[in-house]
Structure 1
Amino acid sequence: MIPELTDAGVPAWWRGLGLPGLADVHVHFLPERMERRVWHHFEHGGPLMGKGWRIHYRLPVEVRVDRLRALGVRAFSALAYAHRPGMAESLNEWTLDFARRTAECLPSATFYPEPGVLGYVRDALGRGARIFKVHLQVGDFDPRREEIDEVWGLLAERGVPVVVHASSIPLPGRCTGPVPVGGVLERHPTLPLVVAHLGMPEYDEFFELAETFPNVRLDTTMTFTDFAERGMPFPARLRPRLRDLGLAGKVLLGSDFPNIPHPYAHQLHALDRLDLGEDWLRAVCWNNADNLLDLSAHYTRSAGH
């Protein structure tokens, strides 16, 4: 039995693996008004959330950034996502400015199927966006819609990854599941997609997409934690495939910080107790994100903090 890891023990944990720190591709920072609404939604539940949960890191933004720094998260995203037309461009303004002010933050952006989407995605790329996020359940849109086909093509051409919430958690939606995303990949087979939550609970189907398409990856967000295992346990029979995918560069660390019901350390502990080996942990917690996002220059930029 591996002792439970605490936040205070996280730096010693990753140093013990010989890593320069942690790279987390699934972190959220949002404009204050929107963040308050999201937190209320998480803590009080609703049609897409069930009963909800208490957010462990309900703290001022500066304190949350310092907490990530203390944990040794050397590179993290600021994922925002639009749930209706007219939101994405202003969200991109905020997240790109946040990254400019926060050395460790990867310049992050989003998009929504609407008039002008290709233009503001090009603008975000021109301003340095290195990772995008779309949420098919909250946004309630089919990723195969014509308005964003050119966006997918542009991101595939540029090799810019998109973290996509495509699976049917916490509840199935009309646009969730592997079929809509699979349709996008059939048209854009080199698109670098990162499927959030390992595709939970449709693990088999999203693993197959990651094994089929060269640039499809999965993130670990909330998977294997006590919270997730109570409701949607990971099938033990998939552990060999999970190990192979991680060692092949296909699994990345994600946490959902700060919107989680447990300490950050618990996500790492949950990965550690899978007993897939130190090489796998090194790949998932740093090397795979480094290979995808070329973190060397980014890490040099943030090392002073």
Structure 2
Amino acid sequence: MCDDRTSVTPQHEPEKLHSVRDELGLPSLVDVHTHFMPKRVMDKVWAYFDSAGPLTGRPWPITYRLDEQTRVAGLREFGVSAFTSLVYPHKPDMAAWLNEWAAEFARATPDCLHTATFYPEPGAADYVRRAIDAGARVFKAHIQVGDYSPADPLLGEVWDILEHHRIPTVIHAGSGPAPGRFTGPGPVAEILRSRPALPLIVAHMGMPEYRDFLELAHRYDGVHLDTTMAFTDFSEQMHPFPASAHADLLALGDKVLFGSDYPNIPYPYHHAVDAVLRLGLGDQWCRKVLHDNATRLFALSG
């Protein structure tokens, strides 16, 4: 059932994704890595990817450059029952405002997991507490874009709070598609040594430092990984996932979650699902990744 569907036309995507769910016996997909942001912020993100050639060495077209409601409707048509609005700041005095926007978006979009973010700045712990009190269920940290170390002392109390409340953070800490001053497994390992129960979801499987982040997932119960862009043709050309690490994927079968990076992907959504299927790790593993693991982690119904 792991046939490739990269040639599917956009109007047939919902049909093909429905057939995948049918074959696996899944009620829906759960996508832990999608982006919804204030329009002017999303426009700047898209402009960044439009100029990403010098960083990645190749064009990065945005497949779903659509208005917000059309993008929400698209996920629902794909059979995604729960998703995120991963917002992230690139400077001080931005995170609290993004959290307010994300809270309103979650109120208006019941199938979106209430998402929040933070930045190493005075007062970060206070607005993280406020976000949790308002219902935040997942946070986002983008180490490369934010250009900060997750081990920055200004984030110490933030990590303590998130460990205490057992709220996961989707953390982009790998050095792909372009390295930053603080990317890589070292700073993440540093915060985990003093907070071994901290729940983290390592974005992009930690690309390209796959093995190092897989090791952290083996070592710490709270560390998960998301499949965002990993295993796809686009990423395999730049940062291939080592075939010898497939055994780790099986061993960590309860800790791998599906993520897409929708809408900021340079290929159709269904290809991200196909990339998981064609690993050939079995239907049970695929069911866990595409639905069951996130459903359990976030205590979702169904």
- TM-score, normalised to structure 2, is 0.95
The Cα offsets for residues 201-245 of structure 1, whole Å up to 9 and x where unpaired, read as 101100000000011000000011110011111111001111221
**Structure 1 position 239 matched with structure 2 position 246:** yes
Q: CA deviation at 1:16?
A: 2.1
Indicate which of 259, 266, 269 corresponds to 1:254.
259
Q: CA deviation at 1:111?
A: 0.2
The answer for the alignment partner of 2:298 in structure 1 is 293
Q: CA deviation at 1:50?
A: 4.7
Write the letter of the residue equivalent to 1:263. P
Name the CA distance, whole Å, in 2 between partners of 1:68 and 1:172: 30
Name the CA distance, whole Å, in 1 between partners of 2:4 and 2:211: 30
Q: 1:11 to 1:51 in 2, by over 3 A?
A: same
Name the CA distance, whole Å, in 2 between partners of 1:224 and 1:153: 33
Contact 1:44 1:51 in 2 (8 A): no
Contact 1:85 1:113 in 2 (8 A): yes
Q: 1:50 to 1:90 in 2, by over 3 A?
A: farther
Contact 2:53 2:60 in 1 (8 A): no
What aligned pairs does 1:49-198 form with structure 2 within 5 A after superposition?
50-198=57-205
Name the CA distance, whole Å, in 1 between partners of 2:234 and 2:274: 13
The Cα offsets for residues 242-262 of structure 1, whole Å up to 9 and x where unpaired, read as 12212xx11000000000001
Aligned pair count reads 295
The Cα offsets for residues 261-300 of structure 1, whole Å up to 9 and x where unpaired, read as 011000111111111000000000111001110011xx6x
Write the letter of the residue equivalent to 1:260. I
The answer for the alignment partner of 1:2 in structure 2 is 3
Q: 1:129 to 1:47 in 2, by over 3 A?
A: farther
Contact 1:198 1:206 in 2 (8 A): yes
The answer for the alignment partner of 1:27 in structure 2 is 34
**Structure 1 position 274 matched with structure 2 position 275:** no
Q: CA deviation at 1:176?
A: 0.5
Write the letter of the residue equivalent to 1:18. G
Write the letter of the residue equivalent to 2:278. R
Alignment identity in percent?
A: 51
Q: CA deviation at 1:47?
A: 6.4
Q: CA deviation at 1:15?
A: 2.5
What RMSD, in angstroms, separates the aligned Cα atoms of the two structures? 1.3
Q: 1:48 to 1:94 in 2, by over 3 A?
A: farther
Write the letter of the residue equivalent to 1:2. D
Name the CA distance, whole Å, in 2 between partners of 1:291 and 1:179: 29
Q: CA deviation at 1:100?
A: 0.6
Contact 1:24 1:75 in 2 (8 A): yes
The Cα offsets for residues 69-118 of structure 1, whole Å up to 9 and x where unpaired, read as 00010000000001110000000011111011012100000000101111
Contact 1:85 1:114 in 2 (8 A): yes
- TM-score, normalised to structure 1, is 0.94
Q: 1:46 to 1:262 in 2, by over 3 A?
A: closer
5+ residue gaps, structure 1: 300-305
Contact 1:42 1:49 in 2 (8 A): no
**Structure 1 position 203 matched with structure 2 position 204:** no
Name the CA distance, whole Å, in 2 between partners of 1:139 and 1:49: 18
SS, match of residue 295 in structure 1: coil
The Cα offsets for residues 128-169 of structure 1, whole Å up to 9 and x where unpaired, read as 000000000110111111111111011011010000000001
Write the letter of the residue equivalent to 1:36. D
The answer for the alignment partner of 2:19 in structure 1 is 12
Q: 1:82 to 1:50 in 2, by over 3 A?
A: farther
Name the CA distance, whole Å, in 2 between partners of 1:180 and 1:47: 26
Name the CA distance, whole Å, in 1 between partners of 2:178 and 2:287: 32
Name the CA distance, whole Å, in 1 between partners of 2:53 and 2:132: 34
Q: 1:40 to 1:184 in 2, by over 3 A?
A: same
